[in-house]
C-alpha cells in the first residue's frame, strides 16, 4: 500500500507576458499574442495565422497559397481568405507555372460547339478563361473573391464582373445568358452541383454550358444525381463528358501529375 506523502508545492514565478499585437494573415484582425509563451494566445507561433481563422483548423492554408491549401478549404469564407492572398500571384505561380490546362480547354470547347454571347464565366477568378476567347466575346464574370475579380478587371476582357457566392441564390434575372463556362471551380473545398439550379435558371433556352469537374469528385459533389434529375425533368440535354489531364506534362504540382478532370457540356432545354 502506498502512503500519501505530503509535499508543498513551490510556486515558480512565471515570466511577465510579452504581449504584442499581430495581424492575422487569414482573418485580417489584430490580436494580442504573448510572444514569450504562445500557449493561450490566439496565434500559431511562426505562422502569423490566428487559430480561429479557419474554424480552428491550423493547417497551412493562407501563408503560402497553393493547390494543397485550396483543396483543404471547407467554406465560402475559407475560399475568400485563401484567394485574397493568392490573387496577385495566382496567374504566374499556378496557371502558368503549373501548366493549368482547364481555362484553355474550356474556352476551346465552348467555341468549337458554337457557343454564343453573352456568356457567364462562373468562378472566373483572375480571368484565365477570358484570355482564350476572341476579342469580340461578350463575357461576364462572377466570383466570391473581390481580389481575384480585381485582377480579372485589369485584363479588360469582361463586360461586367460581380461578386457572388455560388452557394446562394444569384441576384440575376432568369434566361439572360447564351451560355456559361467554368474552369477549376467545381472541385475539392470549392463548389458542387448545388450551384447548378441557379446557373441553369440564368441560361436562355438552347444556351450552352461547358464546365470542369474534378473527375474523382463527380459523384461526391453531387453531379451524378443532379444531372440525372435535371435530364429526367427535361431541363437540360444529357451532359457529355471528356476526360482531360489537368496539368501540362512536367509542370504539375507535386503528386498531381496524373490528375484528371472532366470537361462537361450540356444545353439548356
Ligand X SMILES: C[S@@+](CC[C@H](N)C(=O)[O-])C[C@H]1O[C@@H](n2cnc3c(N)ncnc32)[C@H](O)[C@@H]1O
Question: For ligand X, which is the closer residue by CB, 33 or 161?
Answer: 161
**Least distance CB 168 / ligand X (angstroms):** 8
Question: For ligand X, which is the closer residue by CB, 101 or 268?
Answer: 101
Among candidate residues 133, 153, 131, 79, the one with its CA nearest the CA of residue 141: 153
**Least distance CB 209 / ligand X (angstroms):** 14
Among candidate residues 68, 141, 75, the one with its CA nearest the CA of residue 103: 141
**Least distance CB 38 / ligand X (angstroms):** 31
Is the distance from CB of 41 to CB of 228 less than 8 angstroms?
Answer: no
**Least distance CB 229 / ligand X (angstroms):** 21
Question: For ligand X, which is the closer residue by CB, 58 or 165?
Answer: 165
Question: For ligand X, which is the closer residue by CB, 43 or 102?
Answer: 102
Is the distance from CB of 50 to CB of 40 less than 8 angstroms?
Answer: no
Residue 208 grid cell: 450552352
Helices (H) and strands (E) in the chain, counts: 6, 11
The residue number whose beta carbon is nearest to ligand X equals 125
Rule CB under 6 A: which residues touch ligand X? Answer: 76, 79, 83, 95, 102-103, 123-125, 128-129, 143-145, 148, 165-167, 183-185, 190-191
* Rounded Cα distance, 97 and 88, in Å: 14
Amino acid at each position: 500500500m502506498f502512503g500519501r506523502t505530503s509535499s508543498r508545492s513551490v510556486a515558480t514565478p512565471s515570466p511577465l507576458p510579452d504581449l504584442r499585437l499581430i495581424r492575422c494573415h487569414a482573418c485580417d484582425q489584430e490580436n494580442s499574442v504573448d510572444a514569450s509563451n504562445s500557449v493561450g494566445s490566439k496565434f500559431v507561433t511562426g505562422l502569423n495565422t490566428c487559430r480561429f481563422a479557419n474554424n480552428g483548423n491550423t493547417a497551412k492554408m493562407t501563408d503560402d497559397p497553393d493547390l494543397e491549401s485550396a483543396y483543404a478549404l471547407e467554406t465560402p469564407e475559407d475560399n475568400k481568405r485563401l484567394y485574397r492572398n493568392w490573387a496577385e500571384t495566382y496567374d504566374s505561380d499556378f496557371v502558368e507555372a503549373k501548366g493549368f490546362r482547364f481555362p484553355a480547354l474550356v474556352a476551346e470547347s465552348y467555341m468549337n460547339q458554337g457557343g454564343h454571347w453573352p456568356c457567364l464565366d462562373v468562378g472566373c477568378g483572375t480571368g484565365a478563361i477570358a484570355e482564350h476567347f476572341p476579342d469580340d466575346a461578350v463575357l461576364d464574370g462572377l466570383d466570391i473573391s473581390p481580389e481575384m475579380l480585381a485582377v480579372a478587371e485589369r485584363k479588360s476582357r469582361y463586360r461586367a464582373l460581380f461578386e457572388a457566392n455560388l452557394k446562394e441564390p444569384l441576384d440575376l434575372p432568369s434566361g439572360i445568358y447564351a451560355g456559361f463556362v467554368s474552369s477549376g471551380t467545381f472541385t475539392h473545398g470549392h463548389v458542387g452541383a448545388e450551384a447548378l439550379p441557379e446557373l441553369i435558371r440564368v441560361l436562355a433556352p438552347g444556351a450552352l454550358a461547358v464546365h470542369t469537374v474534378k473527375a474523382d469528385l463527380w459523384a461526391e459533389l453531387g453531379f451524378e444525381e443532379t444531372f440525372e434529375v435535371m435530364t429526367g425533368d427535361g431541363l437540360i440535354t444529357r451532359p457529355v463528358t471528356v476526360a482531360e489531364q489537368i496539368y501540362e506534362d512536367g509542370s504539375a504540382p507535386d503528386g498531381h501529375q496524373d490528375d484528371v478532370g472532366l470537361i462537361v457540356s450540356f444545353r439548356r432545354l
